[in-house]
Amino acid sequence: MPPLGVFGGTFDPIHYGHLRLAEDMADALGLERVRFVPAGQPPHRAAPRTAARHRLEMVRRAVAGNPRFELDARELERDAPSYTVDTLTALRAELGDARPLWLLLGADAFLGLPAWHEWKRLLDLAHVAVAARPGAPLVDALPPELKREVARRQDCAGPAGGVLLRTPPLLDISATVIRDTLARHRSARYWLPDAVLDYIQEQKLYA
């Protein structure tokens, strides 16, 4: 069965760095689809600045037109905190145990993985593909317990359980910089899709 990618985040706002990472991982891993899953209330970080409905619409506009990308709103529809393990468990119930799932993470998120709710269960539900930054020795920076998991999970065959550290050609774009730039009434064009920027301006977000 063709593998499915799962890419979560606050997407506040979504930008070309997110989209390029997902596209690269889709090519490298042979993913049939990448599901973008905007987080509701991430338990391991501060609440997103922007309301869920706006972040949902920005992602919807950003992924439109790419047949490999799709929006999954389940975490925004959940009243409880957005635990990734719950999202992957629900996907497994829908898709079965045989289909390979890949959880796509940036390096910073992966480094903080041991603080996530039931983080080791994530590796029983999906493979994890990590976008490492060029020139950054990610393995050396891993917490000891995470380094041990990476060392013993090099086999990415089957539906779940592997860890792949990949160094894609990342775009150095920051949602924080975009928000700060827009707050100063300066241009954020070419950092994010025009459809997303148009929505931000229509709704007067980050002003």
- Alpha-carbon gap, residue 65 to 89, rounded angstroms: 28
| Per-residue model confidence (pLDDT) at position 62 | 98
Beta strand extents in the chain (DSSP E only): 4-9, 33-38, 69-71, 101-106, 127-131, 163-166
Summarised one tens digit per residue, pLDDT across range 1-48 is 899 999 999 999 999 999 999 999 999 999 999 999 999 887 767 789
> What does the pLDDT read at residue 170?
83
For residue range 127-163, list pLDDT tens digits in order: 999 998 877 678 889 999 999 999 999 899 999 999 9
Q: Mean pLDDT, the chain, as a whole number?
A: 94
User: What is the set of domains in the chain, with CATH numbers?
Assistant: 4-203 (3.40.50.620)
